[in-house]
Amino acid sequence: MKNIKRKNIIQLVLHNDKFAALSSSEVVLAGDEDEFFYEGTNEAVPFGEPIGLDIPNPATREIKLVLFKNIYWNPLEDNCNE
Protein backbone atom coordinates (compact mmCIF):
# COMPACT_ATOMS: atom_id res chain seq x y z
CA MET A 1 0.00 0.00 0.00
CA LYS A 2 1.11 3.51 -0.71
CA ASN A 3 0.36 6.29 1.78
CA ILE A 4 -0.46 9.79 0.55
CA LYS A 5 -0.96 12.42 3.30
CA ARG A 6 -3.19 15.42 2.62
CA LYS A 7 -4.28 17.68 5.48
CA ASN A 8 -6.00 15.50 8.12
CA ILE A 9 -6.86 12.68 5.74
CA ILE A 10 -4.67 9.72 4.81
CA GLN A 11 -5.46 8.14 1.46
CA LEU A 12 -4.43 4.54 0.99
CA VAL A 13 -4.02 3.10 -2.48
CA LEU A 14 -5.47 -0.39 -2.23
CA HIS A 15 -4.45 -3.39 -4.32
CA ASN A 16 -7.23 -2.74 -6.84
CA ASP A 17 -6.20 0.93 -7.32
CA LYS A 18 -9.17 2.21 -5.33
CA PHE A 19 -8.67 4.83 -2.65
CA ALA A 20 -9.75 4.63 0.98
CA ALA A 21 -9.89 7.99 2.77
CA LEU A 22 -9.09 7.70 6.47
CA SER A 23 -8.82 10.20 9.28
CA SER A 24 -6.56 10.00 12.31
CA SER A 25 -9.50 8.62 14.31
CA GLU A 26 -9.12 5.32 12.43
CA VAL A 27 -5.66 4.70 13.93
CA VAL A 28 -6.04 1.96 16.58
CA LEU A 29 -3.85 2.03 19.69
CA ALA A 30 -2.77 -0.77 22.01
CA GLY A 31 -4.79 -1.08 25.20
CA ASP A 32 -3.88 -2.04 28.77
CA GLU A 33 -3.80 -5.77 28.06
CA ASP A 34 -0.79 -7.45 26.44
CA GLU A 35 -2.44 -8.87 23.32
CA PHE A 36 -0.56 -7.15 20.48
CA PHE A 37 3.11 -7.95 19.94
CA TYR A 38 6.00 -6.91 17.71
CA GLU A 39 7.13 -9.53 15.22
CA GLY A 40 10.80 -10.35 15.57
CA THR A 41 11.10 -9.45 19.27
CA ASN A 42 7.73 -10.83 20.51
CA GLU A 43 7.56 -7.88 22.93
CA ALA A 44 4.13 -6.53 23.86
CA VAL A 45 3.17 -3.27 22.18
CA PRO A 46 3.06 -0.65 24.96
CA PHE A 47 -0.23 1.02 25.94
CA GLY A 48 -1.10 3.87 23.58
CA GLU A 49 1.19 2.83 20.73
CA PRO A 50 -0.40 2.45 17.26
CA ILE A 51 -1.10 -1.13 16.16
CA GLY A 52 -3.08 -0.67 12.96
CA LEU A 53 -5.98 0.98 11.19
CA ASP A 54 -9.75 0.53 11.24
CA ILE A 55 -10.60 0.30 7.53
CA PRO A 56 -14.26 1.01 6.77
CA ASN A 57 -16.02 -0.82 3.95
CA PRO A 58 -18.88 1.44 2.82
CA ALA A 59 -20.46 -1.34 0.76
CA THR A 60 -20.94 -3.70 3.73
CA ARG A 61 -20.87 -1.04 6.47
CA GLU A 62 -18.29 -3.17 8.31
CA ILE A 63 -14.99 -2.06 9.79
CA LYS A 64 -11.92 -4.28 9.57
CA LEU A 65 -8.89 -3.87 11.81
CA VAL A 66 -5.77 -4.13 9.67
CA LEU A 67 -2.63 -4.50 11.78
CA PHE A 68 0.65 -2.93 10.77
CA LYS A 69 2.95 -5.48 9.15
CA ASN A 70 5.28 -5.67 12.18
CA ILE A 71 2.42 -6.30 14.66
CA TYR A 72 0.60 -9.54 15.45
CA TRP A 73 -2.33 -10.35 17.72
CA ASN A 74 -2.21 -13.00 20.42
CA PRO A 75 -5.40 -12.79 22.51
CA LEU A 76 -5.17 -13.02 26.28
CA GLU A 77 -6.71 -16.47 26.52
CA ASP A 78 -3.78 -17.81 24.46
CA ASN A 79 -1.30 -16.19 26.87
CA CYS A 80 -2.69 -17.87 30.00
CA ASN A 81 -0.74 -20.76 31.47
CA GLU A 82 -3.71 -22.57 33.00
Q: 4 pLDDT exceeds 50?
A: no
How far is residue 54's CA from residue 77's CA, in Å, rounded to a whole number?
23
Question: Max Cα separation, the chain?
Answer: 49
pTM score over 0.85? no
Mean pLDDT of 51-65: 88
Q: Which residues pair with 53 in a beta bridge?
A: 27, 66
pLDDT of residue 6: 39
**Residue 17 zone, left/alpha/beta (φ > 0; ψ -120 to 50; rest):** left
Q: What is the pLDDT of residues 9-57, one digit of tens each?
A: 455 555 555 555 667 778 999 999 999 999 999 999 999 999 999 888 8
Beta strand 36-38 with 71-73 is: antiparallel
pLDDT of residue 56: 82
Amino acid sitting at position 37: F
